[in-house]
């Protein structure tokens, strides 16, 4: 997906409201709220902005978490032991 990157006075940012609905929910639920910035542009207050670099870092972290395979219940409970031989 192509990100809707915006620029203002040399600041590269992404507006949460311009993301897909699913991405918006993920950002509001897991993004560090202190990194959400406000920008005043043309007498309008944009209060849902994230620096593009912060958004990229967040996206990398969330993608890495999703890529970790989860074990199914059978694999989590006792893994099979090898056969033992006694003299």
The per-residue pLDDT for range 1-14, each reduced to its tens digit, is 567 899 999 999 99
Strand ranges, E, within 1-87: 5-8, 11-15, 36-41, 44-51
Paired tokens of 82: 């090898």
Q: Taking the CA of residue 87 as centre, how many other CA atoms within 13 Å lie in the half-sphere pointing to its CB?
A: 0
Residue 46 to residue 24: CA distance in whole angstroms: 15
Q: pTM of this prediction?
A: 0.68
Mean per-residue pLDDT, 21-47: 93
What mean pLDDT is reported for the chain? 82
Question: Residue 68: is its pLDDT beyond 80?
Answer: no
Residue 18 has pLDDT above 70, yes or no: yes
Q: What confidence tier does 57 reach under pLDDT thresholds 50, 70, 90?
A: very high
Give pLDDT, residue 58: 92
- pLDDT at position 87 over 80: no
């Amino acid at each position: 997906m192509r990100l809707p990157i915006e620029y203002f006075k040399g600041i590269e940012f992404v507006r949460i409201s311009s993301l897909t609905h699913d991405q918006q929910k993920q950002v509001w639920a897991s993004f560090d709220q202190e990194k959400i910035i406000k920008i005043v542009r043309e007498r309008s207050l944009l209060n849902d902005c994230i620096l593009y670099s912060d958004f990229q870092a967040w996206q990398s972290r969330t993608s890495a978490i999703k890529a970790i395979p989860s074990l199914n219940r059978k694999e989590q409970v006792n893994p099979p032991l090898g056969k033992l031989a006694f003299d």
